[in-house]
Structure 1
Amino acid sequence: MSSESLSVELNEERPHDLSVAPSFSADSPFEIELDNLGQAVHVHLNIDDELSQVARLSGGNHYVDGGQSLGVEVFVTPKDDPVTGKLKIVTGYGSETAYVDVTINPAPETRQVDVDGAFSKPAKKEAEPSVTEGLSDVFPDVDPNSIPLFLLGAFALALAVGIATVFNSFAITLGAGVVVGGVLVALGISVLE
C-alpha cells in the first residue's frame, strides 16, 4: 500500500458535513482516510466510469463511529497515460455530497539493471583437492609423481611397526626394520631426483 492517502473529514462543523480536497492524484494504490470528528455516520463512496478503468474501491458503504477513523483501500492499475475521473462521497443518505477529481498517473518507470549472463548460471563448484594435491601443498619441494610412493611407504611403515608391536619376535622386528629401512631409502631417492 502506498503512503499516499486522501483525507476526508466528516462532521467537522455540523452533522453529515464533509470536507475534502477538490483533486487528488496517485500512481499506485492509495487509501481514502475517513476521519469522523462528530457523531456516527454512514458514508457511501462511488467512482465514475472513467476512473473505474484504472481504480477499484475495496468497498462502497461504510459506517464510521463517532471520533473514529476508517481507511478504505483503492486498488490502482495505471495505464500508459493519465486517467482522470470523479470520486463521489455521500453522507447522511444523500444530504451531503462531494466530488473529487482523481487522476491516476502512469506508474513511475522502474530502472532496469543489465545483468551479465554469467550471473544467470550457478557458480561451478571447485573440486576438492585430491590427497596427492593436498600433500603437494604440505611438501612443495616433493615431486607430485612420487607422492603415491610416499603414501605406500607410510602405509608399509605403519603396518610393519604395528606387527612388530603385536608380535614380540626377533624375526618380525628385524623384518620390520628392513621394511622401514627400505622405505626410507626409497623416499630419499625419490626426493633427490
Structure 2
Amino acid sequence: MVSTVPTLDVELNGEAVHDIDAPDAFATDGPFPVVLENTGRSTHVHLHFDDDLDRVTAVDEVNHFVADEATRHVHVSTADVDERVRGKLKIVTGYGSNTSYVDVRLDPSTDTPEEPVAVDETFSAPPERPPDVPPGRQAVNALDRLVRRGGTAGAVFGFLAVAAAVAVALAVDSAVVWLAVGIALMIAFGAVLLAVT
C-alpha cells in the first residue's frame, strides 16, 4: 500500500492582488511540501513557522519568488516527535501587504522504521581457498607425517618384508606364493596409507 504525502496547498492572487487562499488547518506526521500556486502576476511569498513548530520543522529558504501563473513547491522537513506539536504557519505576500495563518499539527510518525540487518564482512567476500598442493609436495608431506608419527621403522620393515616375499616368489615360481605376495603388498600399501593420513 503506497502512502501519499499530504500537501499544504496555497493559492495566490486568486480573487485580488496579493490574495492568499490557504486552509485553516493542516496535519501531517512527516515532511511535506507547501505548494504555492500563483494564478496571477508574479509575487514574493514569505513563510514563517512560529516558535513551537520552528523547533521541529525546517525550510531551506523562507522567501520565495513565484512567477506569473506558476507553481512552486517548498519542501518542509520535520523532526521525529514523540508528542503532537501544534503551531502556526505564517504566509505573507506583497512584502507584508497580506498575511494568512494556517494551524499546523505535527503528529508522531506511525511508520515503524525497518531495523537494518547487520551483515558480517566475511559474507560479502567469497571464501579464500588455499591453493592446490602439487603432487610432489604431497608426497614429501606424506613422508614427513610418516616420520613424525614414528612409522619409519615400520616402513623399512614392511619394505624389507615385501622385498623378501618377492624374492621367495621368484625362486619358487608358484601361483600360491605369488597370491600371498600380492596380498602382502596390498596390506603393506594399506598400512602406509593409514600411517600418512
Q: Common fold, TM-score beyond 0.5?
A: yes
Match of 1:7 in 2: 9
Match of 2:108 in 1: 106
Match of 1:154 in 2: none
Match of 1:17 in 2: 19
Structure 1 residue 81, shift from structure 2 partner: 1.3
**Identity in percent:** 35
CA contact (8 A) 1:11 1:39 kept: yes
Match of 2:60 in 1: 58
Structure 1 residues 139-188: Cα deviation after superposition (integer angstroms, max 9, x where no partner): xxxxx869x9xxxxxxxxxxxxxxxxxxxxxxxxxxxxxxxxxxxxxxxx
CA distance in 1, matches of 2:64, 2:117: 47
Which of 14, 31, 39 matches 2:41?
A: 39
TM-aligned CA distance change 1:44 to 1:127, over 3 Å:
same
User: What secondary structure is seen at the aligned counterpart in 2 of 1:122?
Assistant: helix
Structure 1 residue 48, shift from structure 2 partner: 0.5
Task: Confirm whether residue 122 of structure 1 aligns to residue 125 of structure 2.
Answer: no
Structure 1 residues 65-100: Cα deviation after superposition (integer angstroms, max 9, x where no partner): 211112222221122112111001122333332211
Match of 1:84 in 2: 86
TM-score, structure 1 as length reference: 0.59
Task: Confirm whether residue 74 of structure 1 aligns to residue 76 of structure 2.
Answer: yes
User: What secondary structure is seen at the aligned counterpart in 2 of 1:100?
Assistant: strand
Structure 1 residue 29, shift from structure 2 partner: 2.5
Consecutive unaligned residues of structure 1, counting only runs of 5 or more, are: 133-143, 149-188
Amino acid at match of 2:133: S
Number of equivalenced pairs? 138
CA contact (8 A) 1:78 1:104 kept: no
Structure 1 residue 127, shift from structure 2 partner: 2.5
Consecutive unaligned residues of structure 2, counting only runs of 5 or more, are: 143-184, 190-197
CA distance in 2, matches of 1:112, 1:54: 24
TM-aligned CA distance change 1:69 to 1:114, over 3 Å:
closer
TM-score, structure 2 as length reference: 0.58
Match of 1:94 in 2: 96
Structure 1 residue 120, shift from structure 2 partner: 1.9
Structure 1 residue 37, shift from structure 2 partner: 0.5
CA distance in 2, matches of 1:106, 1:71: 24
Structure 1 residue 113, shift from structure 2 partner: 5.8
Structure 1 residue 54, shift from structure 2 partner: 0.2
Rg comparison, structure with higher value: 2
Match of 1:30 in 2: 32
